[in-house]
């Protein structure tokens, strides 16, 4: 079967090969059939908050969140759950990892005390609106 170069059938075959990812068809289709790829424009980025870009001591502005549950084995052979807390410095992107026994506010406040003792008191703390964090904020503000 003979297929003419500029016929609709040759263009359909070329398009089919292009969709299936044939390696040589991209160059052929761009040169012979006038397909062009256009450069895309990246969207405008918003301004970053000052606490992310101004020079400050490590962990002066932090963000925190929980992850888990993690399964741990006790010394008596039973398994139990614990949770991790990741605290990230907003300026340097350093991280501080800590473990909490459960998701209560008391465990959260004890973890914060350990963090403050090791890294110092931060100027700002950013987190999601989890009930543990919201109640902890209320207690810390009193």
Structural domain boundaries in the chain: 57-141
Spell out the long-range contacts of 81-90 with Cβ–Cβ below 8 A and sequence spacing 24 or more. 85/111, 87/59, 87/62, 87/63, 87/115, 88/62, 88/63, 88/64, 89/58, 89/59, 89/60, 89/61, 89/62, 90/49, 90/51, 90/52, 90/61, 90/62, 90/63, 90/126
* Fold of the 57-141 domain: Nucleotidyltransferase; domain 5 (3.30.420)
Between 28 and 88, residue with greater pLDDT: 88
Mean pLDDT score of the chain, rounded to an integer? 84
Q: What is the pLDDT of residue 11?
A: 78
Verdict on whether the full-model pTM lies above 0.75: no
Q: What percent of the chain has pLDDT over 70?
A: 81
48 or 99, greater pLDDT: 99
Interval 79-88 mean pLDDT: 95
- Asked if pLDDT for residue 85 goes beyond 60, the answer is yes
């Amino acid at each position: 079967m003979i297929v003419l170069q500029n016929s609709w059938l040759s263009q359909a075959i070329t398009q089919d090969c292009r969709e299936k990812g044939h390696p040589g068809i991209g160059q052929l289709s761009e040169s012979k059939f006038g397909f062009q790829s256009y450069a895309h424009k990246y969207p405008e980025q918003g301004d970053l908050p000052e606490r992310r870009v101004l020079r400050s001591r490590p962990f002066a502005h932090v963000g925190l969140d929980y992850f888990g549950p993690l399964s741990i084995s006790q010394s008596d052979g039973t398994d139990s759950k614990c949770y991790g807390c990741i605290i990230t410095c907003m300026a340097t992107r350093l991280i501080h990892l800590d473990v909490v026994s459960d998701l209560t506010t008391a465990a959260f406040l004890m973890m914060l005390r350990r963090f403050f003792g090791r890294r110092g008191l931060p100027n700002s703390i950013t987190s999601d609106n989890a009930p543990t964090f919201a109640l902890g904020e209320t207690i810390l503000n009193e």
